Structure 1
């Protein structure tokens, strides 16, 4: 379909002037509408066939009429096509935008008479710029590691399909020669998958096997060895062995510094991990300092929606919550959630993790029960679909939903 839209792109300049308007009806939650601001970027990928008016601005579901201003001269690279001739309803003069097309908000007004929001948009080329940044980032990373590992990481890190990632890396181990130079790296990535699945004993086994092979090849394998140490440290932090974790993360940082500059993306990622352990150890000031450095590096070095930046926002929100700054914490966590939703799938376990944290936070805030339950249920739904039945995070979500439900019953009584 995307290819066909690109083919039809040229014909739209013939049928339409360089500047014209199109309209689209949609439905958003009240929270999403309230978060819209002039200048913000939005993507509307869920068309609906019709609109029935809501009862007012307090309804949970709000109805939107988007008015989109198109200027073909200002956005020559964006894919837009008139599909009237291929539509079952040609009289509707239907126009489709390419997948991922992004718009900038120009005006926001509410029609009290008809209970409908009118939002004026213009096409934005900013996402094209982000895509170019991302292509460069991937190209640079491919110079540093085996490209096949990226496919396995995409299955787990981006799509959240840990079972598929596990099968992929096991297959790589079967087909690679015993002396293949990338075998230790495959063991490391398989260990990461098992850690994400909550299968910690298997993860420790593969981390240690990777470290054994990497130690034999020092100093040439020093970079990969530091990665594996950092990964094992993350496992220790998740299983409550924070003293061992902070020692290992500190060791990993020291090794990385012999290979990388302080503003390298990998340094930012390991600082994220170290910041999380500092948070666990209640070293909040150090955690905030590390996260500030990390966010600065990731903003300058990686694409803006790079997943590590979302992790930094999530952790900063968690730290702010720990020191009693709940409203600021909610802002960081909400930003982290939006970024994760834009970069990952909406059903990714990391999305669930941020939803869970927001649920816990709102549960402590006045009038926050409704938002807490909404986030808690979403986190539970994702974890039930993506995680094993005995996974620690699934159990935490079940307990939280039960607790919030119990609190609701007690409040009603």
Structure 2
């Protein structure tokens, strides 16, 4: 089988997988998820999900997904305690539906891990992620595409814990998994590249970090809206690298692009917005 036909086969398999996943997804949940994750309109998405909480019966099966999505939204806007509370509610609701809803349970654990990592509790974050990854591997086929989601989070958690060798090993595994299973650009592969850039930068390997961030930026341009906060995060990292290289014109351009997005899409108290403002201030002082 040649490379072209192999790529077609992989793409067909992935499309069938996505269609199957969408068939089991409640449209009202998907709509709120779309508002938060694609348009990054967190306030409207939150209104949507709280409305669902008011109208859904107390024993409705979708309440766990409502809490799960609220947990994600609160994490995005850095309301971490509220995020954890929502994830805990989702975890309580999903327990009675196991093992049928094992996939949801693994995602909830991963969501809690990300919040713990953001709060600086790396030990707890890694414990939750290892548990989620082990359950996923035990419950689902070894080659299921969603494994990439857990590998990405685990790699980033090791990065947050400053265990850079472990982080790079996990992220390389994620990249290899992606290349074997999918031949199309995918946001999770871009997340892998961006996280690898962070690790290389922490290891003082700016050459490799620059390659990762530039490739992540190229793919994010093609996959996401021009005002998506993920683009802003990559712009910021590129600005840091060029600043360290004394390439201040490039650095200033990238951080301004980052701020243009963050000022629209992020709360004014968000940590990433504060970092971009501080970097812009330092760069302007050099002019």
TM-score (norm 2): 0.90
Aligned to 2:44: 164
Report the secondary structure of 1:333's partner residue.
Answer: helix
Report how far residue 237 of structure 1 moved.
1.1
Residue 373 in 1 paired to residue 240 in 2?
no
**Aligned-partner Cα distance in 2 for 1:257–1:135:** 22
Report how far residue 220 of structure 1 moved.
3.1
1:270-297 alpha-carbon deviations (Å, 9 max, x no partner)? 1101101111222222212211221222
Aligned to 2:98: 218
Query: Structure 1: which 5+ runs fail to align?
Result: 1-127
Report how far residue 192 of structure 1 moved.
0.4
1:331-369 alpha-carbon deviations (Å, 9 max, x no partner)? 11011011111111010011111111111122112x422
Residue 398 in 1 paired to residue 277 in 2?
yes
CA contact (8 A) 2:168 2:196 kept: yes
Report the secondary structure of 1:257's partner residue.
Answer: helix
Higher helix share: 2
CA contact (8 A) 1:137 1:303 kept: no
**Aligned-partner Cα distance in 2 for 1:195–1:332:** 25
Which among 324, 335, 353 is matched to residue 204 of structure 2?
324
Q: How does 1:9-408 map to 2 (within 5 A)?
A: 135-302=15-182, 304-365=184-245, 367-406=246-285, 408=286
Aligned to 2:3: none
Query: Structure 2: which 5+ runs fail to align?
Result: 1-7
Count residues with an aligned counterpart. 280
Aligned to 1:67: none
Q: Which has the higher contact order (CA 8 A, sep 6+)?
A: 2
1:100-134 alpha-carbon deviations (Å, 9 max, x no partner)? xxxxxxxxxxxxxxxxxxxxxxxxxxxx9999777
TM-score (norm 1): 0.63
**Aligned-partner Cα distance in 2 for 1:133–1:303:** 11
Report the secondary structure of 1:179's partner residue.
Answer: coil
**Aligned-partner Cα distance in 1 for 2:11–2:150:** 24
**Aligned-partner Cα distance in 2 for 1:155–1:375:** 26
Q: Indicate how the Cα distance of structure 1 residues 376 and 131 shifts in structure 2: closer, same or farther if over 3 A, else same.
A: farther
**Aligned-partner Cα distance in 2 for 1:160–1:373:** 25
Name which one, 1 or 2, has greater alpha-carbon Rg.
1
**Aligned-partner Cα distance in 2 for 1:326–1:292:** 17
Q: Mean Cα displacement is larger for which, 180-189 or 254-263?
A: 254-263
**Aligned-partner Cα distance in 2 for 1:182–1:296:** 34
CA RMSD of aligned residues (A): 2.2
Report how far residue 391 of structure 1 moved.
1.2
